[in-house]
Amino acid sequence: MTEIVFLVEDDPDGGYTARGLTESIFTEADDIETLRKMLFDAVQCHFPNEQNRPKIIRLHYE
């Protein structure tokens, strides 16, 4: 896998949520910059083997 896509949405309680479209990864944060960091960490945890880890993390904003 070279790329993973996340759907980013406004959270009704404030902040943002992001969920993977092809993988079971979900995270949330108060601002976009923190969300990006959380997604990077979540992808690293979900794909512990660096060779299998997607090289590109794409965010699709709704």
> What's the confidence (pLDDT) of residue 21?
97
Helix (H) or strand (E) holding 8: strand 3-10
- Residue 33 to residue 29: CA distance in whole angstroms: 9
Task: List per-block mean pLDDT (blocks of 10 residues) for the chain, which spans 62 residues.
Answer: 95 97 97 98 96 96 89
> What's the confidence (pLDDT) of residue 9?
98
| CA-to-CA separations, 38 to 13, 56, 57, 61, in angstroms, rounded | 18, 15, 12, 16
Task: Give the residue from 32, 23, 17 showing the smallest Cα distance to 5.
Answer: 23
